[in-house]
Amino acid sequence: MCKKIEEVLRTSIEVSELITDFDSDFQNIVNPFISKDNAKKRIVMFPIQDKPFAVIFCVVSPKLQESVIGAIINECSVFTWPTMKKTILLEYECTMKQKCQMLLRVTRRLFAQVASLETLLRIAMDQAKQLTKAEHCTVMLIDVDRMDLYDSGVMGGKERRFPLNVGITGEVIRTGTLINMQNTNDHHAFNPVIDSLPGVECRNLLCFPIREQSGIIGVGHLINKITDPYFDAMDEEMALAFSIYCGVCIMHSVVYQKIQEAHIRNALANELVMYHMKVDDQEVVKMLECTGFHNHPHLSSLHFNPRAIPLRELPCYVLKMMYDLGFDKKFNLKKLKLARYILYVKKGYRDVPYHNWTHAFNVAQWAFAAIVNYKLIANGIFSELQAMMYILAGLMHDLDHRGTTNSFQIQGQTTLAALYSSEGSVMERHHLAQAMCILNTEGCDILESLPRRDYDRALLLLRDFILATDLANYFKNQSEYKAIAADFQKGNKLHVNALSCMLMNCADLSDTLKDWGSVKKTAASVLTEFFKQGDVEKSRGELPALMMDREKCFIPDLEIQFLSSICMPLFEIVGRILPRAAPCSKIIENHMERWDAARPVFAEVPAAAGLSVLLSPELDNLIEQNLREKELEKERLEQERLEAEAQEKE
């Protein structure tokens, strides 16, 4: 509807204009039907006013006098216009019927896919394109938590996120009305970054809100009409009708997924209850009345071996650590509740080779030792609340561990993967959920006496500490950790949070700081878990990773790689921030030397026998022998070098 056509509709007589005075889109429609010998041809237009729509008869270069053209058109319209009008109405009704039938089919397809939001969105975009004959379609949803728009990339691209107030999309969200742009260059708000797709030239755009009962939940874009120069009123009606059905389906999908998650959580809770027994009052009393020796002189040592303590005494030592740091008085921890909580946590661990209750105690003990030896509270690095949650996180960081990795859960499409894989850190999020479950259990809610602000802060600290134990997060942030270590500022919250995560990793990997005998036993436990997982993967027809395959894993190389690529960089970074932690790197170096000296021993037997060699009492003698030979060889080479230098001087 260009300006000239609008002016003609306001009159009741014929209007004559040069074709060159019209807009280009009008000329593009008319030019193919006229000769090109005279570009300045005239068009005589005569309006016929009617309802629900009007019509303009256009005559190009009439040979009769223009004064009679109007009368001729008027006479012709008396006979032709009623038939044309009925034809147009019939066509409209037929088109509407066809579109409604298509819309019903689309709705059926959408409601059949509520189980998967990703599939639902993909089908919705495909069907919207078919309904309106558009080249491209996108659907962006509003993330209420982050208050932005996101395009999940269901059509093969990466997820894109945008502010809510940008481009035509922002206008639609603000006003709640549909915008139909016949030419995107004519609208000041058009932003190709959000209003189009990467690599797509957007000529015309139909942008519409997606609603449900609570309001706008997203925005749809239909880009580039295929059969016409732009989207018409019929397309607008279809888009608005489609958006309502689409919004309902999206909300149904979200609710469906929440119901599924609730079912999964319920199944996990039932599984946990069936597997673990409750702690009765008699057990709590027995622990509190324990008369065993609870004053081991090296409890606060960073290299303390928990195997020096009888297994039954470990809960008592956890209680002692909390008391020694004064947390019971500072946070009003009730002795009965604390004892019950510790026993609940103990029973929350499965009987797996490595990630068991002993490992949990070991991590909590190292956290205790780090607080004492690195003076984390005294130096103002940790508050007392942070220090307490550091120990509690160490105690609970592997709750209900099944002896398998995150990748195993995801590849096996387990219940845990179904619940947590979208968030990442599958097992760590499960450990956190179980920790929260215990802290919310009646009689174990040791944090109940905290003020609301401290309570909320404690749970956030617990979450950050436990999620930090996923080494994938450590690798992702390693470069950032190095930069922070170069200029650590204990008044900077970002720096302190980074150090907290690294200290949690140090506690989790603290077995590498024990004596050589303990290091060997830990390696055997870890490998036993790995090999069991590898056996299960083989039974499923999958190819296990090299370190999980008992028939291919060369243990010394695996241990050296682990120490050099994970442990050494971690303790070196922490050592730059906390100088008292620097000696840890030397201990790891010594263990690496021993593993290197063990290579010839393991090389003499098949890889499948590696675990037996590791547990052999003869291994240490052979390692010592190899170390002496290396030292003698080193001394010989040094002597030869000195003799060669002396000869050169002579």
Q: Of these residues, 221, 252, 355, 359, which one is catalytic?
A: 355
pLDDT score recorded for residue 270: 56
Burial of 295 (C-beta count, 10 Å sphere; 0-12/13-18/19+)? exposed
3-state secondary structure 392-411: HHHHHCCCCCCCCCHHHHHH
CA separation for the pair 151, 158 (Å, rounded): 8
- pLDDT tier, 317 (very low <50, low <70, confident <90, very high otherwise): very high
The residue that leads in pLDDT, 103 or 154, is 103
Q: Which residues contact 637 (CB under 8 A, 6 or more apart)?
A: none
Whether the per-residue pLDDT at 38 is higher than 90: the answer is no
Tell the residue number behind the tokens 């998967």, with chain if given: 116
Q: Which residues contact 452 (CB under 8 A, 6 or more apart)?
A: none
pLDDT score recorded for residue 495: 95
The residue that leads in pLDDT, 371 or 129, is 371
Q: How long, in residues, is the chain? A: 650
For the stretch 67-115, pLDDT in tens is 788 788 888 888 888 898 889 888 888 877 777 777 677 666 666 666 6
pLDDT score recorded for residue 25: 77
- pLDDT tier, 275 (very low <50, low <70, confident <90, very high otherwise): low
| Annotation says 495 is catalytic | no
Q: 571 near 585, Cβ under 8 Å? A: yes
Which strands form 215-225's sheet, in the order they lie side by side? 160-162, 148-151, 134-143, 215-225, 205-212, 179-181
Whether the per-residue pLDDT at 144 is higher than 90: the answer is no
pLDDT score recorded for residue 184: 85
Encoding tokens for residue 72? 């001729």
For the stretch 596-620, pLDDT in tens is 999 999 999 999 999 999 999 899 9
Whether the per-residue pLDDT at 566 is higher than 60: the answer is yes
pLDDT score recorded for residue 124: 75
Handedness of CA 145, 146, 150, 154 (dihedral sign): negative
Burial of 6 (C-beta count, 10 Å sphere; 0-12/13-18/19+)? exposed
pLDDT score recorded for residue 274: 43
CA separation for the pair 334, 342 (Å, rounded): 12
The residue that leads in pLDDT, 158 or 179, is 179
Tell the residue number behind the tokens 């009439």, with chain if given: 62
For the stretch 468-499, pLDDT in tens is 999 999 999 999 999 999 999 988 999 999 99
pLDDT score recorded for residue 271: 61
Which residues, in sequence order, are bridge partners of residue 218?
Answer: 141, 210
- In the chain, the percentage of residues whose pLDDT exceeds 70 is 94
Whether the per-residue pLDDT at 314 is higher than 70: the answer is yes
Encoding tokens for residue 375? 């003076």
**Average pLDDT score over residue span 614-638:** 88
pLDDT score recorded for residue 630: 87
Can you give the C-alpha Rg of the chain in angstroms?
A: 37
Whether the per-residue pLDDT at 647 is higher than 90: the answer is no
